[in-house]
Amino acid sequence: MATRVLLAILFTAVFAYATTVQRLGLEDLAKKAHTIVVGRVTNSRTYWSPNGKVILTNYTFQVDESIKGQAGRNVEITTIGGRIGEVELRVSGMPSFQTGENAVVFLEQSAGYQTVLGLGQGKFTVMAGQVVNSIGDLSFPDGRPGVPTRMPLPDFKTRIRTILSR
C-alpha cells in the first residue's frame, strides 16, 4: 500500500507542477508523526531503488533533540528524488536537505523507509532561531493554498509539546 502511495506521488509530480496532499496542521503533524527530532544533516547518499525504477536519497540526520519518539544519535531520512549522473528525478513538494542544514522533522514509516510526514509540510528549516516550512509546491484537495509556518524555534517546540501533552 505504501509503495503505491509513493508511486502515486511520483506520477502526480511527473504530470503536474504541484503535488496534491492532505493538508496537515501542526496538531496533525505532531499527532501522526512517530518521531519528531531537531538536528542537522551531516551526509546524503543518492541511489536507485531496489527495483531500479526510482531514484532515492538518504539523508543522515544528527539528532540534537528528540521531541517525540525514540531516536538514536542519528536517523536516516529517505526521500524520492535526486541526481545520479545525467538522470535527475524531482518530485514536486518532496522535501530535500543540504548538508549542514538544521531542521525540525516530523517522521513516519512508509514502505520500510523513514520519511518526512506530509512531504514539505513536515520539514521545518531552522535559520536564525526561526523555523519555517516550504509548502509552495503542494496543492491541497480543498484548492486553498498552503500557508507556511514561521515562528521562533523555542515557541515551536513548546507548541509541539503542548499538543502532545493533551
Please give the grid coordinates belonging to residue 33: 508523526
pLDDT tens, residue by residue, 1-37: 444 444 444 444 444 456 778 899 999 999 999 999 9
**Is it true that domain 2-165 has CATH number 1.10.3470?**
no
| CA–CA dist 64, 72 (Å, integer) | 10
pTM for this entry? 0.86
SS (HEC) of 50-100: CCCCCEEEEEEEEEEEEEECCCCCEEEEEEECEEECCEEECCCCCCCCCCC
Query: Domain spans of the chain?
Result: 2-165
Q: What is the pLDDT of residue 17?
A: 52
DSSP lists the bridge partners of residue 36 as 68, 106
| CA–CA dist 82, 1 (Å, integer) | 23
pLDDT tens, residue by residue, 26-66: 999 999 999 999 999 999 999 999 999 999 999 999 999 99
| CA–CA dist 90, 82 (Å, integer) | 7
